[in-house]
Structure 1
Amino acid sequence: MTRKAGSVVFQNVRKTFGAFTAIPDLSLTVEPGTLVTLLGPSGCGKTTTLRMLAGLEHPTSGRILIGGKDVTMLPANERDVSMVFQSYALFPHMNSLENVAYGLQSSGMGKKEARERAENGLELVGLAGMGQRLPAELSGGQQQRVAVARALVLEPQVLLLDEPLSNLDARLRRRVRTEIRELQQRLEFTAVYVTHDQDEALAVSDRIIVMKDGRIAQEGSPRDLYETPASSFIADFIGEANVVPCDIVAVSDGKATISIEGLRHVVPALSARPGRAKLAVRPSAITLEPADDAAFPGRIRHAAYLGDHIEYEAETAGGTLFIVDPSVDRLLSPGTQVGIGLKTRGIAIIAE
């Protein structure tokens, strides 16, 4: 249904609001046919970036290109993009078919053709036969899909999604994000997706751009960001991580031997050099052993049974560790002395 997917390029874009600088200097590229997520905490600049791409804000300086065309100062209606808003913005007095056809008719398309395109759009998102239902007669997930269909039938070069799942409950959010990802991969349209939800970003993205204070803190594939965070901020923001001090004892053949409170372990070296460093350790990468069998002692401070896993907090000489243990057959009570071990995956030296 969509026309050829377009690229997105920001070249040294700066955005100020009076004396406040929201975006100091932003350069990024979104390749055609990919889904790229702008991820970050509130106030990091991700929504301002999306609004500039949509034409709802204009940069103070720099250039924005869509499909190779400079759109920096073009108004929203002259850009080849469609946007799915956080609130869905469906007309409550129109049924689903009329909502999807609205943009087509507003652009001058005949009523019959617009209706046919709208029906195809609803079928595309799995809502065939539901065109006569009003938004109030649809579930939250169905309303969200109507909003996506309304955007897609305009055949934009780029689809923009602003926190599209924030109004859904957790279970529905998981299902709908899968539907969005499958739809994007099947139709191969370019999508720029904004969220503050790390799990959502990991689940849907080809590439994630993590923003902090209007700048790019790190960008890469979900696996790259999770397994090789470039800073303590990234390590803690992309999934939870324990950031602990360590000593890099030796580096050889792309591997580093590190020492934490006497426990030695081998991890990917990247650009590490011998000396003091910080280590990002995922909660699931920590093992709990009998106290006599490990050189890294700890004491259970808190335990919480959550059905398919147990969450622990353990006090160690290097600080408190958060641990996710899949072994639900045992529950270690607070005060229990344990030995801390490390798995092979889920551990990375922080480059900062």
Structure 2
Amino acid sequence: MISPGSVVFEHVSKRFAGFTALPDLSLTVEPGTLVTLLGPSGCGKTTTLRLLAGLEHPTSGRILIGGKDVTQLPANERDVAMVFQSYALFPHMNALDNVMYGLLSSGLTKREAQDRAREGLKLVGLEHQGERLPSELSGGQQQRIAVARALVLEPQVLLLDEPLSNLDERLRRRVRTDIRDLQQRLGFTAVYVTHDQEEALAVSDKIIVMKEGNIAQQGAPETLYHSPSSVFIADFMGEANIVPCEVEQLEGSEALVRIGSQQYRIRGEGAQKGAAQLAVRPQFITLRGEGTGALKGEITHSTWLGNHIEYEVQTELGSLFIVDSMMEQRLALSTRVAVDFKPQGLALIAR
């Protein structure tokens, strides 16, 4: 039975020759939650995961798992299990034997290991695929075998390193749902590393966005998306146009902001009156060939992508990237348009 553990980093630093990957990292993962480390390449997320796994050791600071100091313990004594980007399945072993491998290495008898491995395959919905080789399984099935192999070890913490990067887009959506459903059903603690914002939003209880080895912002997915603390966060947590605005009035947790000629009432936690910046999500901008709007503009680029049209529109506040999923008509280049905004797609950026 899985007993979820907490994860705590206390002022952890990691320096390599001539390079500091993590200057001073402190974070907490609560038991039974799925926390995603998100950020661009080189931000420190993979180094953080390797430190937690025991594949690297910190230059300074402490790492605790389930309240136990594991800073100097080797990987095999940390009560964690890892799902690698490449799955790392043994190609000559069938699915059941792959799941059994770690159990046999831990000292269980073959019968005990088989029973546990079959239970693990059942957990991930592959109880009838145990005799098949990895080459006979789809990418999604291979990923679930790798998850089952980790879960049967009953770790306090499951580590997932870019687990969906080798799957096509449609399969990624399905497998990330499988992983999230499994985590919620079994209640294990998971630390998940990805650079894919959509993936992080879909699976996480909490997202920790990293930049240059530091935490840029952390919180629930909705908080980071709707209340970004910086331009970096606003742009990283889904595509965003950054536009200037004026905060004209504050009422409780709401703010009345002006963009161009129009006012909008939006979330305003922590806002101050005066000049500010807004993150404007491209799918919440509307275009009209005629009429009034917050801004006037002219279409400079147009791309038809089957289920939506992407526009670039030059306005007095700069160029705006716009996604039109309604597709009632495709507006021609150089068309003069009225640009308006839907309040739910506007997020004030904290100063």
What TM-score bracket applies, with the shorter chain setting the length?
Answer: over 0.9
Q: Which residue of 1 aligns with 2:140?
A: 141
**Closer, same or farther in 2 for the Cα pair 1:239/1:116, shift >3 Å?**
same
Task: Show CA shifts across 1:145-202 (max 9, x none).
Answer: 1111100000000000000111111111111111001111110100000000111111
Q: Which residue of 1 aligns with 2:243?
A: 244
How big is the shift at 1:309? 2.2
How big is the shift at 1:293? 1.5
How big is the shift at 1:289? 2.6
Which whole-Å CA distance do the structure 2 matches of 1:212 and 1:56 have between them?
22
Q: Which residue of 1 aligns with 2:298?
A: 299
How big is the shift at 1:232? 0.6
Structure 2 gaps of 5+ residues are none
Pairwise mapping of residues 42-61 of structure 1 onto structure 2 (< 5 A)? Answer: 42-61=41-60
**Closer, same or farther in 2 for the Cα pair 1:98/1:245, shift >3 Å?**
same
Which whole-Å CA distance do the structure 2 matches of 1:18 and 1:116 have between them?
47
Which whole-Å CA distance do the structure 1 matches of 2:70 and 2:294 have between them?
60
Which whole-Å CA distance do the structure 2 matches of 1:113 and 1:325 have between them?
56
**3-state secondary structure, aligned to 2:150:** helix
Q: Which residue of 2 aligns with 1:88?
A: 87
1:160 aligned partner, one-letter code: L
**3-state secondary structure, aligned to 1:51:** helix
How big is the shift at 1:18? 2.0
Q: Which residue of 1 aligns with 2:75?
A: 76
How big is the shift at 1:295? 4.2
Which whole-Å CA distance do the structure 2 matches of 1:108 and 1:49 have between them?
30
2:164 aligned partner, one-letter code: L
Q: Which residue of 1 aligns with 2:256?
A: 257
Q: Which moved more, 1:166-175 or 1:282-291?
A: 282-291
Q: Which residue of 2 aligns with 1:152?
A: 151
Which whole-Å CA distance do the structure 1 matches of 2:277 and 2:294 have between them?
19
Q: Which residue of 1 aligns with 2:12?
A: 13
**3-state secondary structure, aligned to 2:331:** coil
2:175 aligned partner, one-letter code: V
**3-state secondary structure, aligned to 2:343:** coil
Q: Which residue of 2 aligns with 1:324?
A: 323
Aligned residue pair count: 351
Maintained 8 Å contact 1:11/1:62: yes
Which whole-Å CA distance do the structure 1 matches of 2:251 and 2:125 have between them?
53
Which whole-Å CA distance do the structure 2 matches of 1:289 and 1:211 have between them?
39
Question: What is the root-mean-square deviation in Å for CA atoms of aligned residues?
Answer: 1.2
Task: Show CA shifts across 1:292-340 (max 9, x none).
Answer: 3224101111222223322211110111111112221211111111111
How big is the shift at 1:346? 1.6
How big is the shift at 1:251? 2.3
Q: Which moved more, 1:200-209 or 1:256-265?
A: 256-265
**3-state secondary structure, aligned to 2:119:** helix
**3-state secondary structure, aligned to 1:293:** coil
Maintained 8 Å contact 1:125/1:145: yes
* Residues 1:347 and 2:332 are matched in the alignment: no
How big is the shift at 1:290? 3.9
Maintained 8 Å contact 1:307/1:328: no
Q: Which moved more, 1:197-206 or 1:272-281?
A: 272-281
1:246 aligned partner, one-letter code: C
Q: Which moved more, 1:246-255 or 1:319-328?
A: 246-255
Maintained 8 Å contact 2:121/2:127: yes
Which whole-Å CA distance do the structure 2 matches of 1:249 and 1:329 have between them?
35
**3-state secondary structure, aligned to 2:88:** coil
2:113 aligned partner, one-letter code: A
How big is the shift at 1:249? 2.2
Ranges of 4+ aligned residues in structure 1 off by more than 3 Å? none
Pairwise mapping of residues 168-317 of structure 1 onto structure 2 (< 5 A)? Answer: 168-317=167-316
How big is the shift at 1:272? 1.5
How big is the shift at 1:59? 0.7
1:265 aligned partner, one-letter code: Y
1:239 aligned partner, one-letter code: G
Q: Which residue of 2 aligns with 1:161?
A: 160
Q: Which residue of 1 aligns with 2:106?
A: 107
2:159 aligned partner, one-letter code: L
Maintained 8 Å contact 2:84/2:162: yes
1:10 aligned partner, one-letter code: F
Maintained 8 Å contact 1:291/1:297: no
**3-state secondary structure, aligned to 1:329:** coil
Which whole-Å CA distance do the structure 2 matches of 1:286 and 1:168 have between them?
32
Which whole-Å CA distance do the structure 1 matches of 2:10 and 2:79 have between them?
19
Which whole-Å CA distance do the structure 2 matches of 1:184 and 1:231 have between them?
31
Which whole-Å CA distance do the structure 2 matches of 1:334 and 1:166 have between them?
36
Which whole-Å CA distance do the structure 1 matches of 2:343 and 2:103 have between them?
54
1:268 aligned partner, one-letter code: R
Q: Which residue of 2 aligns with 1:98?
A: 97
